[in-house]
Structure 1
Amino acid sequence: MSVIVFFTNIMLLLLLVWWLWKQPCLNSIRPYVLPALAFKLVCGVLVGLLYHHYYKEGDTITFKNASLILSSYAKQDLTGYIRLILFNEFSSESFRSSVPFSRLPNFSNSFFFIKLLSLFNLLTNSSYYLNALYLSLFSFWGTATLVTTLVKLEPKYKMAAVIAFLYFPSVVFWSSGVLKDSLIFGSMCWVIAMALELASGKRLEKLNWLLMPLLLYLFVRLKFFLALLLLPLLLIYLLVRITANKTKHLKSLGAQLVAVGLSACFFGVIGAWLVKEYNNAFFYRNLVYTYDEMLKLSVGQPSIKFTKLEPTLSSMLLNAPEALFGAIYRPFIWEAANNPLHLLMGFENLVILLLTIVAIAALLLQKKRLPTPKQLLFLLIILSFGVIIGLTTPNFGTLSRYRIAFLPFLVYLLLQSSYVQHLLQKLQAKPHF
């Protein structure tokens, strides 16, 4: 990589950081922005070092090598490369066979990510770590957008949002670097932020309206099954909140909670029935297949093991509690054995367990109050994502990465307990980040 290309990209990254820093929406969390961004960018680099020098294999290395094939093709046949990027047209079958995940290019999210990465290669002259910085910055932008929205809607939970989304270790680490998760997490946070803004009656900025179709497509294209769970929940929440502003029947908090809960249950039942009747239980069979394949990666190691997982709705429901518990609280510290990454995950899970105990104690010992519709929305996201990810991801290493889709929402809710809030108010008065 030439020195000119390197410094040009560094200047472009600094320009993007400056543009982000100047956004007025960040005023509410400005003391935490630069430290959180630095943490994010460092994690993007550390992800690459972890895979290249510790694992010495993995998704990010496969994506990098595959994108290099496409970038090299762009230099040889630019017209053919453009047709490949836009229409998934390969010049030959032999060329197709040389690119991983290209067997079903119209459906593979990994191949879609490889194409995007090859475009970054053209900008960075195929620098892995410059690509990591760009993707980490995108992820941070989407995350910060959601945090500022949450702070705007509920200022008293500012520190809870900042810690859960911008500083919680595994969330920041696994949503950084050259991984699909960087784009998935960033676009998902952005989509949720816009839905919350609309539901609160706020006007979206013109830039957000322009970006909405692109980022919504990016999220759906990269993680369809999560989008299939999330988008109906957001739509239900949005409709209930908008209706509440126009009719007296949904003015009360209890009525809104009932409307969101019943609507979510109704669409869940309809969705389960459609999967069974019109898809020949393909979803359930694919879920069991994914679980079995992941379990093979955990031979001789602790993992989430179900007594009997079958491709039926009844089997999924019976195993759902264990799947959810495992996705949130495992591995335990004593299950880490000699695996340092599992040990770090175990310590993090211990913190989550302690926060859960404190939150339950606060609910039982103090005056009971109804949750807000937004809290119920986040709880439904945690339950649906947690069950699906727990059912399909018995391997703890992979679980640590996949569960970032719901983990910050759980931490955000747990940090809202009155006992924890008392401590966070002190942190908010004197930022320590």
Structure 2
Amino acid sequence: MKLLLIFAGNGLVLLGLWRWLRAQRQLPSLGHFVVPALGLRLLSGSISAAVPSADAVFFQLWARRFTQQLWAEPRAWLRMLTQDEFHYAGQSLVYHGHSNTLFLIKLLSALNVVTGGSLWLNALYFSVASFIGCWYLVRVLSRLFPGTRGAAIVGLLLWPSALYWTTGITKESLLLASGAGLLAVALRLLYGGASRRAGLLVMGGLLLAVLQFKMRFFFGGVLLAGLAGLVAVRVLELLGLMRRRWQQTLVFAAVIGSGLWLASEVSPVFRFNKFASQLTRTYAGLREKSYGRPYIDLPHLAPTAESMAGYVPKAVASALFRPFIWEGDSLFYGISAFENLLLLIIMGVALLDVMRRRQGPLPFALLLMLLTYCLALAALLGLSTPNLGTLSRYRASWLPLLVYVLLSQPTVSDWLRRLRLFGIR
């Protein structure tokens, strides 16, 4: 029975993937890129499986135990899915609250039915999920804003750290898949015109939003808040009531502010005192583990609005551009530093475009939403995650969107077209 499910399940997936790839290869200006891009993801996922992280090994170990319960006591396994505890055959795993680690293990335990508990196959499935989410967003962006096609391909499919951290058995794989997919659905509904599949898109968007929240609660909250602001501005824009940028900015800020207030009334997790206290505790705990290595030093960080606001510029700059080229003495830090230097250069060029009033093809409201989302998460991570290695992994799920925004600006976009890199034009 188990072997039949493994062969039949993987056979159906391969057949579906093959048919999907055939359809994607017919896309004008994009089709030639789908197979190489997927190949890169699968290669990265295979490398991550060959040298698995401690987290991946932990996830896989407990997922196999969960799957053993699934085969032996399916009803108990189904009950366990709604709980924060696992008990079977003398093995116990208990988490308090909504744990993304436990949620990921539950997903893996179901996937094991098809993969037979193979770490390598699980890593490939996660890599394919990440790729499909990114590819869908690339398709939507390329169709709605054709001048940003090259930026979308480089940012979402080729950016090195994102490619490395969002393949294999990682939370970031599913976080990027759900975030990219949710953004693509929202953009299709807001900028793509009427669609006969609007109902299916909304249902898919809701499922992706749930996955986003399950994988990282605050990331999902920031993304949903940004999308709510974008929806409000876009609706008013379509009604002809909101065309000036300052008006759109005020409406966007008002929606975000109202959302934060409402969230704090609904759940104590979003109240500033609890949020600030948790953030500073997280920073202090990770800082103790970072001594002897480069880290973000915020010596007087306190759970107050004044203290946190004062450190925001340093937190954002550190989250985006560290490690610097003179920090660290390993290959990992060297590669990260080179990537950060490249990011700094393209950001500088994009800022020059802004100063020269050279406008890119993205609508202002979308540009505002993406920048707010990326910079808000940069601030949160910079304030809470001093360890630069951990920070590099955490930012992998949103950094591709920032790279996309920067590369879509006129000067860098012109460079991409002139290079015709990998057929990008």
Superposition TM-score, scaled by structure 1 size: 0.88
Q: CA deviation at 1:428?
A: 4.6
Q: What is the rounded CA distance, in whole Å, between the counterparts of 1:168 and 1:347 in structure 2?
A: 12
Question: Is residue 357 of structure 1 aligned with residue 345 of structure 2?
Answer: no
Higher mean displacement: 235-244 or 326-335 = 235-244
Question: Is residue 132 of structure 1 aligned with residue 133 of structure 2?
Answer: no
Q: CA deviation at 1:350?
A: 0.8
Aligned to 2:179: 188
Aligned to 1:219: 212
Q: CA deviation at 1:50?
A: 3.4
Aligned to 1:373: 365
**SS of 2:106 mapped into structure 1:** helix
Q: CA deviation at 1:164?
A: 0.3
Aligned to 1:54: none
CA distance 1:359–1:261, shift in 2 (3 Å): same
Higher mean displacement: 359-368 or 262-271 = 262-271
CA distance 1:371–1:149, shift in 2 (3 Å): closer
Aligned equivalent of 2:98, options 95, 98, 107: 107
Aligned 8 A contact 1:275 1:281 in 2:
no
Identity in percent: 30
Aligned 8 A contact 1:187 1:216 in 2:
yes
State how 1:276-315 maps to structure 2 within 5 Å: 279=271, 281-315=273-307
Aligned equivalent of 2:396, options 388, 404, 408: 404
Aligned to 2:408: 416
Aligned to 1:63: 59
Q: What is the rounded CA distance, in whole Å, between the counterparts of 2:29 and 2:200 in structure 1?
A: 20
Aligned equivalent of 2:417, options 417, 422, 425: 425
CA distance 1:37–1:362, shift in 2 (3 Å): same
Matching residue's letter, 1:21: L
Aligned 8 A contact 1:145 1:193 in 2:
yes
**Deviation digits for residues 313-361 of structure 1 (CA, Å, limit 9, x no counterpart):** 2221111111100000000111022x21111111100110111222223
Q: What is the rounded CA distance, in whole Å, between the counterparts of 2:278 and 2:271 in structure 1?
A: 11
CA distance 1:266–1:90, shift in 2 (3 Å): closer
**Deviation digits for residues 263-296 of structure 1 (CA, Å, limit 9, x no counterpart):** 3355457768998998472211111121122223
**Deviation digits for residues 185-227 of structure 1 (CA, Å, limit 9, x no counterpart):** 1011111111112221342635434423322211111111111
Higher mean displacement: 81-90 or 363-372 = 363-372
Aligned 8 A contact 2:328 2:334 in 1:
yes
Matching residue's letter, 2:49: G
Q: What is the rounded CA distance, in whole Å, between the counterparts of 2:148 and 2:354 in structure 1?
A: 17
Q: What is the rounded CA distance, in whole Å, between the counterparts of 1:368 and 1:155 in structure 2?
A: 15
Q: CA deviation at 1:37?
A: 0.7
Aligned 8 A contact 1:257 1:372 in 2:
no
Question: Is residue 229 of structure 1 aligned with residue 230 of structure 2?
Answer: no
Q: CA deviation at 1:67?
A: 0.8
CA distance 1:323–1:50, shift in 2 (3 Å): farther
Q: CA deviation at 1:408?
A: 1.1
Higher mean displacement: 408-417 or 367-376 = 367-376
Higher mean displacement: 72-81 or 123-132 = 72-81
Q: CA deviation at 1:182?
A: 1.0
Q: CA deviation at 1:301?
A: 0.6
Q: What is the rounded CA distance, in whole Å, between the counterparts of 2:216 and 2:397 in structure 1?
A: 10
RMSD across aligned C-alpha pairs, in angstroms?
Answer: 3.0
Q: What is the rounded CA distance, in whole Å, between the counterparts of 1:280 and 1:399 in structure 2?
A: 23
Q: What is the rounded CA distance, in whole Å, between the counterparts of 2:43 and 2:398 in structure 1?
A: 23
Listed as ranges, the gaps of 5+ residues in structure 1 are 52-56
Q: What is the rounded CA distance, in whole Å, between the counterparts of 2:347 and 2:390 in structure 1?
A: 23
Aligned 8 A contact 1:197 1:204 in 2:
no
Q: CA deviation at 1:406?
A: 2.3
Matching residue's letter, 1:396: L
Equivalences, count: 420
Higher mean displacement: 190-199 or 123-132 = 190-199
Listed as ranges, the gaps of 5+ residues in structure 2 are none
CA distance 1:362–1:120, shift in 2 (3 Å): same
Q: What is the rounded CA distance, in whole Å, between the counterparts of 1:142 and 1:250 in structure 2?
A: 31
Q: CA deviation at 1:387?
A: 0.4
